[in-house]
Amino acid sequence: MTKQEQFTVTSIALLMLLLSIYLYIDFYFTGNTHSTDALSGMTQIFGMTDEHIQNINSEITVKVLSQVTSK
């Protein structure tokens, strides 16, 4: 792994960590749930029901797991 790749991976990991800390603190103190708001926004935009979203989540999970286990 080159220095550039290492820097990129480290930067992304750090940003994700900071985002998760921010969302945790935001939820802890205000009770805001951005993820459920985002999902309700998805349902309004695309006319999806919760069942559609659940099916998509299941498909993605299956694809990711199959790729991980195939290596």
Q: What is the pLDDT of residues 26-62, one digit of tens each?
A: 777 766 655 555 555 555 666 666 677 677 777 878 8
Q: For position 54, what pLDDT does the model report?
A: 73
Query: Which one has a higher pLDDT value, 65 or 2?
Result: 2
- pLDDT tens digit sequence for 5-26: 889 999 989 998 888 888 777 7
DSSP the chain: --HHHHHHHHHHHHHHHHHHHHHHHHHHHH---HHHHHHHHHHHHH---HHHHHHHHHHHHHHHHHHHHH-
Q: For position 44, what pLDDT does the model report?
A: 61
Query: Which one has a higher pLDDT value, 1 or 38?
Result: 1
